[in-house]
Amino acid sequence: MSTVIETAPPVAAGQAPGKGRWIEDWRPEDADFWATTGKKVAKRNLIFSIFSEHLAFSVWVIWSILVVSLGTLTDPATGAALYPDLVANQANATKIFWLVALPNLIGAIMRFPYTLAVGRFGGRNWTVISALLLLIPVGLALYVVLNPGVSYGFLLFAAITAGFGGGNFASSMSNISYFYPERTKGTALGINAAGGNIGLSSMQLFMPLMLFMGLSLTFATAFWLPLVLASALCAFFFMNNLHVSKATLAQQFAAAKRPHAWVMSFLYIGTFGSFLGLAASFPATLKFVFPDDQKFDFLGTGLLLPIAFLGPLVGSLARPFGGWIADRVGGAIVTAVVFTLMAVCSFGAIAAASAKNLGMFITSMLVLFAMSGAGNGSTYRMIPAIFKRQADAEIARNPAAEEQLLGQSRREGAATLGMAGAIGAVGGFILPKVIGDSIKATNGIGTAFSWFIAMYVVCLIVTLTVYIRKGATMSRV
């Protein structure tokens, strides 16, 4: 029977790991090993990876709620706005959308070192560290709530630290990619990503729900502190480090020399960049585009947030479905369909906003979110498949180096997952900024969404040319 070989203190497979636990022998492609040992260990690590990543995503978009909530606060004595820069009007559009865009930019930057950290420190160890770092943005957000009237510059600083939450995704996906065999990797990565992505929806649902229940904004912000601590403890006690994931910086940077790593990173801007950017800006966009429509007012609070949470929710749920379909028909085909429908839905959003049809706008946005989520799953399925195909071609020329080449393909594929995640998250910064600039210049979103349509068309052309066109090296990957 296959066994897991671990460093001291030795622990049987499936038991709670001890401090410093490393798994030395990991062979997920070995059917016997996977059935007797690997699947159980991989599932356990996946569960607690999702928990940690879910909270990281929640913290990442905490400012999407705060910009709307703080903007409604007034001085009881004078009735003046406590945060005049956050009052939803055309003049403040750029300032408000900067606060929801900056965390995404910082999160994108943080994904590069976070990806490398898995190979340097181990997946379990880095999950603990990255979870504890989330205490900083939550603590600063709490300070802002407790000290009304702090400067706009301090708000920007506090929002920047929320970007720590964005880095967790890259390290989590890179880590989980080592645990699963190639045949189920798309589904596993889709589930891991979806569990994390739903954190966006959780923040946009539970914070306003707590406010409705009569709890203070202070409580609704501090609520996330014990959960973050719990995620760090769970990672410490129940996750593993894989020796196979260890890699030097040179080995990980080797992925940057692969042209397909850059092509997939660009496509991920179109899918994940859209998902993240639209999720972060959705509450404020609703507030600006439909300021007088009270049908979805949060029971008199002036917040349109109960509808906003549905966007990232459907996008998150669609992600594993996109990975599952991609496992069966190929990621490139799914990705091409996704970009086509995203362009169509963007036209629908423009028309609905122009007609002030809230129902049509929400419908268009929800389908757009769903397509972006499915595209996230399909593109992340394509990445390991691309590197596996490259390895197979190199093995055919040099069979003696099969083990080395397969190990290299796994490392480069994992590094590319992080690289694509980082570059794709830049879209999460660009989209809110474009929306904010569009609202300030035209008092509408038509200009912004027209640019998004152009981006989706370019992504579709790249997908068709590189990954579907007959004769392409990676055709139907």
- The tens digit of pLDDT for each residue in 409-418 reads 888 887 788 7
Evaluate if pTM is beyond 0.95. Answer: no
CA distance 297 to 98: 24
Residues 52, 231 contacting (CB under 8 angstroms)? yes
What pLDDT, on the 0 to 100 scale, is given for residue 5?
A: 44
- The domain segmentation of the chain, as residue ranges, is 22-468
Q: Is 3 left (phi over 0), alpha (psi -120 to 50) or beta?
A: beta
* Residue 200 dihedral angles phi and psi, to the nearest 5°: -60, -45
Q: Fold for domain 22-468? A: Growth Hormone; Chain: A; (1.20.1250)
- The tens digit of pLDDT for each residue in 25-45 reads 899 989 999 999 999 999 999
SS3 assignment, position 241: strand
Residues 408, 254 contacting (CB under 8 angstroms)? yes
Which of 318-322, 365-369, 410-414, 450-454 is least confident? 410-414
What pLDDT, on the 0 to 100 scale, is given for residue 293?
A: 60
CA distance 409 to 298: 50
Q: Tokens in use for 358?
A: 């809230």
When pLDDT is cut at 50, 70 and 90, the band that residue 7 belongs to is very low
CA distance 442 to 434: 12
When pLDDT is cut at 50, 70 and 90, the band that residue 15 belongs to is very low
CA distance 393 to 385: 12
**How many Cβ atoms are within 10 Å of 349's Cβ, its own excluded?**
26
Query: Which of 281, 250, 254 minimizes the C-alpha distance to 65?
Result: 281
| DSSP category for residue 215 | -
What pLDDT, on the 0 to 100 scale, is given for residue 9?
A: 42
What pLDDT, on the 0 to 100 scale, is given for residue 13?
A: 43
The neighbouring-strand residues paired with 8 are none
Return the half-sphere exposure (C-beta side, CA atoms, 13 A cut-off) of residue 275: 36
Torsion angle defined by CA atoms of residues 427, 433, 438 and 444, in that order, rounded to the nearest 10 degrees: 80
